Each structure stands twice: as C-alpha cells, then as structure tokens.
Chains A and B, each alone.
Chain A
C-alpha cells in the first residue's frame, strides 16, 4: 500500500531550508553516480535548490546531498539513492555531494549503531517525493493540465494527453517557488526503480585514481603540520619536557604544551580521552615534525585518581578513573574478583533450583582482550582558528557532539564553527571520539596557522579508546532428557559490562539468570564495531554450540527449537528479538549450505546473532593446514529488511566476516605498567589476504520490511562460527581470544 507521508511542518522546514552554500569549503566533493563519463550533462549554468537535499540544474543535472559521514558503509551512495528513488531521478545524471555538518538542514549526521538507513528511510524518501511533487505541480501549471495526469520517469515529466514533455531542469525554477505540500505519497515497493538494484560506490573513480578524498589529504594554503606527544602509559601525566634541541631542528615552528579538554568540562559520552595534557610539535612538513618529535625529552609523573563529570545524553553521569599503572596480569586479578559479586540484571523462573536439580551442568568461562580499531587512515584533522571563526575538515563520526565540545573549549559559539566532513579511512567507532579535532583546533588557535594534526600509527595505537576487555562465565542446565532447563550468564568487563540480558536465549529458557559487573580502569575505551555484541555473540554462540552437543542435538536445530519456544511461549516480556525472523536466517543458512552433507575433510561451524535490528547467521568451512585454519568458505544469511543496494550490502557483509575472523584470530592489545605493548602493525597482527576466506557468499532474506542496520550485524557472530569450526577440526574448544594463541605454536 502506498504510504502517505504527512509532513510535519516544523521538521520539514528544517529539511527544506537553504543549506547555506557558503559552508562548502575548498574541497570539491562532487561525485558522479555514473563513474565513466562523469557528469554526463555538463555543469549547469544555474542551480535551483528545491530543498535541503536537492538542487536541480536548468539542464536537468541533479545534486543530492549525502548528509552522513562516509567511512566505507556506502551511505554516500545508498542515502542519496533513497532521495533519487522518490524523486524519480535518472541516477546517471545525479551527482552526490557530501553535506557539511549542518544542524539546521539535517538530523542525525553521524556514523554509529548501523542506523543511517533505518532512520532515514522515510525522511530521505520524503525529501525526494516532495521535490517530485513540486516538479509535477510546476509542470501542471505551465502546461495547464491536471497534476494527476502528469507522469515522471528518469528525470522527465510527461503528459500523455497533450504530448508535452520536459526534463526536471526546465521546471526546477518554478518548482522551487511553489508552496510545500501538506503531505506526499511515497512509492510502493513494487514501484521502486533504483532501490533493490546494485549501484556502484559514487566515489569509486576518485578512489581508484588517488584523488584527495580523505581528511589526511586535506590541504590549505599556509597550512602547517602538527603532531602530539602523549603519555607513554595510562595512569601517567605530563610532568615536564625539554624541547630546546628539537625546536632548533629544521622546519620546526614551535613546540609547546597544550590542554585539550579542561578538567572541569562536563564531557558528553563521546568526549573520552585521558591524555589532555599534551606536547604539540608544529612545523613545515610531516617528516620534519616527526624528527623533532623524537628529539623532545618528556618526563612523566603518576596521575592521581579522579572523577570525570559526564553528560550521558542529557542525564548526569560520571566516570571514576583510578590511578595506577595497569598490566594485563593485574587487570585479570581485578576481573576475577569483580565477577564474584555481580549485579542482577534479569531473572526468570527459579534458576537456582533448576541448576540444583539438573542432571548435567555445563559451565564455561570466556575472555577477550582489549582491541585497537586500527583505522587504516591514522587519526587526523584540519583546523583553522582565526579570531572567532573556526573552519575544520576531516574524518569523524559524531560531528555535532564534537562541535559542542570544541565550542566549549575554544569559547567560540557553534554558529562560528564549520565542520566539513571528509571521507573516513575507516571508523569502526574510533572516530566517534574526536579529541584530535579539539587538539588540532587548540594548536591552530595558539599558532594562528591553519593546522593539520596527524597521529603516527604508534600514537594511534597507544592513545586509547580501545574495545574494553571482557570476560563471561556461562552455565547451562540440562534435565535427564537433555532439555535445556536453565541458563546463566555472568558477564562483565574492564571497564564496560557488555551484557545484553534480553537477547536470545532469554525468552526461550524457563529459568534464566543474567548478571553483570564492571571494573574501573584508567585505560580509555569506547565503541567498537557492534559494541558489546562483538563479545557477547562471540562467546554465547560458542557456548550454545557446546550445549547443543551435550544435548545431543544439531546446533542449528537446537537453536530453532529454542526460537520456537520463544515464539510460542515466550518467557518474560522484554525479549528484544523477533524469534520468527531469527529462525528465518537460520533456515536460510541451512538451505544455502547443504547443511548436514558436508564435504570430506571440511570442518563446519555455525553461529547466529541479532543486533542493530538485523539478524545474521553464518556457516564457516575450514581445513587445518600446518596447525592453522584455512578458511574455504563462509556463508552469510542476513535479514536486514529490504536491501537498498545489494552488491554494496554484500561487500559490507564480506568485510564484516573478514574483520571478525581477523579479530578473533589475532586482535589484542596488552599492557605492561600502563604502557600499551602493541604499537604498530609489526606486533599488532591484522588479518591479511592469505588468512581471509577463499569465498564468502551472502544471502539476504527476501522481504519488504523497512530496512535495518547492516554495518555491524554480520560482524559479531563470525567469531563463534570460527571457534565452532575449529572445534570440529581439532576437538579443542577455545575459550580465550585471540584464538591464534591456542593454535599451532601457541
């Protein structure tokens, strides 16, 4: 059924107001959707701004703004595609432009939670449908025919009765002056021409020819290069430094101490950084700054414990930051203490009694280390603070929140701050914590030069904002008929508790207990692709494999039976998954993999998880060679609702699989007296081509449900698919990540 989208006057005006062309700085972000002959129609003489998202040239060329930062999730293609669909534009005559941070015109301009498409599904289509409505009415007025008789297709308006035809550019001037309708009709799914078909990345031509796209590529006349020196260890602060020799080195402008965030500043969730006292080195070129950086002699002192005052999305919060130099081994002792006295999070039935009466209890503990995001583009930002005008450009995930922190730090109102969003050379959560933008701006304010701050790989890997260190103990109780009668999870982390107590198998087990704990730490942590889920799925799905085996059941059938219970007789009321959709991906994976008729010599592992509103099931096939797994094939079965851009969606799922296997096998940051031990890719092992699966197949459940997240959901389960396949191959269960430690020489 066609949806009538009522336009909320207030919110729509927000969308339709002028985007303020003055905010688009020197970079030319235009990207043609038809890569080979870019901008087929040539540049128009005049642009008509129909609303905040759409400009139409008099020659019919259409510019669609992509509101959100692009870091490889392909939103710069898929979000404008939603607008173009309802506009009935010719995609080959659309150019996509990256919007700057513009809170007057756009909402939710950030990367996080796999929510871009889900939350923009209606608003972006409405923007396109409104523009189409205005064009149709402009044509109706011009031709003096009823608007209901006008058809649109691929950027053209036609009226069959009179034989009139015009491209959008011819009607754009009048359309832009017409009143905004009260409501517009959105297309039915069966009417989609662009959505559901594969369209190439709009930036591909620039990527393959090495054009400046990323923050680190950004340049301005007079720009100087800067780097920082931060404490070598968590728990340390800057005591003093001697930069006499370094200051005299060629190309060095200045070396000085900066304060990024003030101690009394109320931080938002994404203002995490422990190293606020830094040494800044400014010079004419990266190489000269790098050399001077090595010549600075810094002394560090122990930091005292403190309480960080926080604003947790409008609620007051705080973070207790202990003193001390933590080591991987000392953290382990604290974790083992904390898990002895967890906090109750969910309890169904009588789990204590069920465990006491069980015929068999299976208990397993799992651990996972700190992880580094390791975006290939090291942290960097451009900032130019001149008086009370601030222009910034670079890669970041949460520009609006960072702008607030920057405003507070510089004492300059947000109205005077422009943040241009460049393409991100990876994000995965790391670029949500944009302390480097504040640092760049503070350095620019002091030196009065436009500044490009770049972290070395070592800075990037040792400055914090890691994935937390986690641990969980699971217990399952089976009765004498090997039915699962009770389930218990006790999970926590240093410093973050990863538990999602209302996820599967909650709701499917009569007696259920979920408990959690946290250990304060001065190591800074933050969101990491599929936050918390990336640990919970990795261990829970491994544990369920073991429980299914103890119950004498096939691992998929075992889960299907539980999902059937959750659907027919759910336990509790706040289960946050749809058992039917969950079972759907299990069945899809089963049918696509010829489950049950494995090839000789191939070991298979199964895993499935629900997060970010989407469902993912995976089957991983491997063979052991010289003690190491060679992964032959991974099958993804995904339910993320309607798929917008299928080939790009598959790419994202393939990447999630490779990323998950790499993290499970090799990912780990360790500490010795507060000092991160892995500082570059010679010691922090990343997955490489040889270790990637030979083949990855991705299948989507075909449905017409509203689209949901895809950047994250395929990532968490693959850890366990690998663990379960390794067990099939070796007979050994692995309870500690990274797995590599327990294979081959480990």
Chain B
C-alpha cells in the first residue's frame, strides 16, 4: 500500500492503495467516481477512457503509481454543468441506447476534438475505433462528434 496525491477534475484527492491498482478501480472503488466504466480490463473496449493531461487513455491499464502529478479528467469532470460541446451534441442526437459505453465514447471524442477541432470522417473513425458500442450507436456517435466539432 502507498499513498498517492492525485489531481482529478481539478481537485486534489488522496488514496491509499496498492501501487499497481489501475486508475479505473481507484476511481470506481476508492473515490466513488463510477462514471468511468469497466468493460474488458485489457484496453480493448474503451469504456474506461479518461484524460491524462488531456490525452485519452485506458484507465484499466494505467497503474495509479504511473500517474504522478499528471492531471486526470473523468466524465464527471468533463464540464461543470454537463455542457461540454460533446455532451450537448450527445443530447442533441439522443445518442445512447443502454448508455454504458457512452462515457468512454465521449471522453475519446472530447480528446480528439481538443487535438483536432475539425476532424474528417476518417479521422473520427480512426479515433473512435477503439471504443466498442454493443448497442450499435456508431452512426449517432459520429454525427454527434461532427456536431460537437461545429459547436466548439
């Protein structure tokens, strides 16, 4: 066990956990932030996507000890009032079905738009290809990413 001071969604939070604990479980079990989802545990589905210094990473493969002083953003902190352009676009297109993968989808989309504000269709597909949506809302996700791109 070791103590870690983490910067999550602009707040300093402390956890006392095994250094190998993936951020996914630090968030979900230790910090009660359950918006980041467990899907596969091997970085294949994208449900656990968070931002590490603004980049989309799979939190199931990110040990807490590797975070150091990097800034973490989770779906809970994507915006203060749920009004990030990606979130607004997700509402506009009424994207979700079951909704389970959508936090990961939105975190990937938000990171994409930060680095590439006007992505082409192909760039959207490449960026989003690591996120599985079992309900099959891909056409709406893509449309929502485009809307968010226009409304930033």
A contact set with B: CB distance below 8 Å: 35, 71-74, 198, 200-201, 203-205, 207-214, 216-217, 219, 225, 250, 285-288, 374-378, 423-428, 454, 456-457, 647-648, 651-652, 654-659, 662, 680-682, 686-690, 692-696
- B113 in the interface (beta carbon within 8 A): no
Chain B CB within 10 A, most for which of A208, A211, A696: A208
Task: Give Cα distance in the complex from A690 to B25, angstroms.
Answer: 30
B47 lies within 8 A of chain A by Cβ: yes
CB neighbours of B103 from chain A (8 A): 207-208, 210
Which of B36, B99, B136 is in CB contact (< 8 Å) with A662?
A: B136
- Tell me, yes or no, whether B54 is within 8 Å of chain A by CB: no
Q: How far is the CB of B109 from chain A (nearest CB, A)?
A: 11
Q: Contact partner of A688 among B17, B95, B132, CB < 8 A?
A: B132
B8 contacts partner chain A, Cβ-Cβ < 8 Å: no
Please pick, from B47, B82, B125, the residue contacting A208 in the complex, using a CB distance under 8 A: B82
Residues of B near A423 (CB, < 8 A) are 98-99
Mask, B1-29, CB within 8 Å of A = 1, is 10000000000000001101110010011
The answer, among B25, B100, B136, for a CB contact under 8 Å with A659, is B136
Task: Give the contacting residue for A681; candidates B42, B75, B95, B99; CB below 8 A.
Answer: B42
Contact A654 B136 (CB under 8 A): yes
Q: Does B94 contact A (CB under 8 A)?
A: yes
Q: Given B22, B47, B131, B136, which contacts A657 in the complex, CB threshold below 8 Å?
A: B136
Answer yes or no: B57 CB below 8 A from chain A CBs. no
Cβ of B141: which chain A residues have Cβ within 8 Å of it?
689
16 chain-A/chain-B pairs, Cβ below 8 angstroms:
A204-B96, A205-B82, A207-B103, A210-B74, A211-B35, A214-B100, A286-B28, A376-B39, A454-B38, A651-B137, A654-B137, A655-B136, A680-B40, A682-B42, A690-B129, A692-B139
A288 and B18 contact, Cβ closer than 8 Å, known pairs A208-B106, A216-B34: yes
A454 to chain B, nearest CB (A): 7
- Give residues of chain B (82-135) contacting chain A, Cβ–Cβ below 8 Å: 82, 87, 90-91, 94-103, 106, 121, 124-126, 128-135
1/0 contact string of B34-63 vs chain A (CB within 8 Å): 111111111011010000000000000000
Cα–Cα distance between A250 and B17 once the two chains are bound (Å): 10
- Picked from A208, A210, A655, the residue with its CB within 8 Å of the CB of B135 is A655
Pick from A209, A376, A454: contact of B35, CB under 8 Å: A209
Nearest to A424 among chain B residues (CB) is: B98
Kindly list chain A residues whose C-beta atoms are within 8 Å of the C-beta of B131: 688-689
Kindly list 20 other residue pairs between chains A and B, CB separation below 8 angstroms, not including A654-B139, A662-B136, A689-B125: A72-B135, A201-B94, A201-B99, A205-B91, A207-B90, A208-B82, A210-B75, A212-B34, A285-B21, A286-B29, A287-B20, A287-B22, A376-B133, A377-B39, A425-B99, A425-B101, A457-B41, A651-B140, A694-B121, A694-B139
* Closest chain B residue, CB of each to CB of A216: B38
- Judging by beta carbons under 8 Å apart, are A647 and B34 in contact? no
Residue of B nearest to A461 (CB): B40
The CA-CA distance from A216 to B41 in the complex, in Å, is 14
Tell me whether chain A's interface is mostly helix, strand or loop, or mixed. loop
- On whether the beta carbons of A659 and B134 are closer than 8 Å, the reply is yes
Chain B's closest residue to A696 (CB) is: B139
A250 touching B129 in the complex, CB below 8 Å, given contacts A374-B134, A659-B136: no
Residues of B with C-beta under 8 A to A377: 37, 39, 98, 100
Taking CB atoms, residues of chain B closer than 8 Å to A428 are 134
- In the bound complex, what is the Cα–Cα distance between A688 and B36 (angstroms)? 20
Decide: A658 and B136 in contact? CB cutoff 8 A.
yes
Q: Determine which of A74, A209, A681, A689 lies in contact with B97 in the assembled complex, contact meaning CB atoms within 8 Å.
A: A74
Cα–Cα, bound, A211→B76 (Å): 8
Residues of A within 8 A of B44 (CB): 680-682
Answer whether A687 and B35 are a contact pair too, CB < 8 Å, given A208-B106, A287-B21, A287-B22.
no
Interface contact B18-A72, CB-CB below 8 Å: no
- Whole-angstrom CA separation of A715 from B90 in the bound complex: 24
From the candidates B33, B94, B124, B126, name the one contacting A648 in the complex (CB within 8 A): B94
**A696 contact set on B, CB distance < 8 A:** 139
A contact residues around B29 at 8 Å (CB): 225, 285-287
Min distance, Cβ A162 to any Cβ of chain B, angstroms: 42
| In contact, B99 and A213 (Cβ under 8 angstroms) | yes
The 8 closest A-B pairs by CB, nearest first: A210-B35, A658-B136, A425-B100, A72-B98, A72-B97, A210-B75, A681-B44, A655-B136
CA distance A376 to B46 in the complex (A): 10
Docked pose: A133 CA to B94 CA in angstroms: 34
Residue among A198, A209, A426, A655 making CB contact with B75, cutoff 8 Å: A209
Q: How far is the CA of A456 from the CA of B36 in the complex (A)?
A: 16
Question: CB-CB < 8 A to B125: which residues of A?
Answer: 689-690
Q: Closest approach, in angstroms, between the C-beta of A722 and any C-beta of chain B? A: 14
Q: Is there contact, CB below 8 Å, between B45 and A425?
A: no
Q: Which residues of B contact A214 (CB under 8 A)?
A: 37, 100
Closest to B20 in A: A287
Q: Are B135 and A659 in contact (CB under 8 A)?
A: yes
Given A208-B82, A210-B74, CB of A689 within 8 Å of CB of B100? no
Verify A208–B90 contact, CB threshold 8 A: yes
Which A residues lie within 8 Å of B99 (CB)? 72, 201, 203, 207, 213, 423, 425
Q: CA A73 – CA B78 in complex, angstroms?
A: 27
Residues on B with C-beta less than 8 A from A200 are 91, 94
Looking across the interface, which residue of chain A has its beta carbon closest to that of B32?
A219
Contact of A376 with B25 at beta-carbon distance under 8 Å, contacts A655-B97, A659-B135, A690-B125 already known: no
- A209-B87 contact, Cβ under 8 Å, with A217-B34, A376-B47: yes
**Closest Cβ of chain B: how far from A200's Cβ, in Å?**
5
Q: How far is the CB of A713 from chain B (nearest CB, A)?
A: 15
Question: Please, how many angstroms separate the alpha-carbon atoms of A33 and B98 in the complex?
Answer: 17
Chain A residues, CB < 8 A from B121? 694
Q: Identify which of B40, B42, B125, B131 gathers the most chain A CB atoms within 10 Å of its CB.
A: B40
Do A378 and B90 touch across chains, with their CB atoms under 8 A apart? no
Contact status of A692 and B42, CB under 8 A, knowing A209-B82, A287-B29, A651-B97: no
B65 CB, min distance to chain A CBs, angstroms: 13
A203 to B44, CA, bound (A): 27
Residue of B42, B129, B131 most packed against chain A (CB within 10 A): B42
Shortest distance from the beta carbon of A142 to any chain B beta carbon, whole Å: 40
Residues of chain B within 8 A (CB-CB) of A286 are 25, 28-29, 38
Known interface pairs A287-B18, A648-B94, A689-B141; A656-B136 also in contact (CB < 8 Å): yes
Bound form: Cα–Cα A689–B102 in Å: 13
Which residues of chain A have C-beta atoms less than 8 A from B42's C-beta? 457, 680-682
CA distance A676 to B71 in the complex (A): 40
Point out the residue from B17, B40, B76, B138 that lies within 8 Å of A689, measured CB to CB: B138
Q: Which residue of B lies closest to A654 (CB)?
A: B139
Nearest-neighbor residue (CB-CB) of B80 within chain A: A209
For A457, the chain B residues whose CB sits under 8 A away are 39-42
Bound CA–CA A432/B60 (angstroms): 28
Q: Which residue of B lies closest to A225 (CB)?
A: B29
Closest to A378 in B: B38
CA distance A456 to B39 in the complex (A): 8
* Structural contact, A426 and B98, CB atoms closer than 8 A: yes
| In the complex, chain B residues whose CB is within 8 Å of the CB of A687 | 136, 138
Chain A residue nearest in CB terms to B89: A208
CB nearest to B83 among chain A residues: A36
Q: Please name the residue on chain A nearest to B130 by beta carbon.
A: A688
A161 to B20, CA, bound (A): 75
Task: Assess the A285–B128 pair: CB atoms within 8 A.
Answer: no
Chain A residues near B140: list those with CB within 8 A.
651, 654
Q: Given the complex, which residues of A lie within 8 Å of B41, measured CB to CB?
A: 456-457, 680
Collect the chain B residues with CB atoms within 8 Å of residue A688's CB.
129-132, 138
The residue of chain A having its C-beta at the shortest distance from the C-beta of B102 within the complex is A207
Residues on the B chain within 8 Å of A212, using CB? 34
Query: How many whole Å from B1's CB to the nearest CB in chain A?
Result: 7
Residues of A within 8 A of B124 (CB): 689
What's the minimum C-beta distance from B126 to chain A, rounded to whole angstroms? 8
Rounded to whole Å, the gap between the CB of A39 and the closest CB of chain B is: 15
Task: Please give me the residue from chain B that is nearest to A70 by CB atom.
Answer: B98
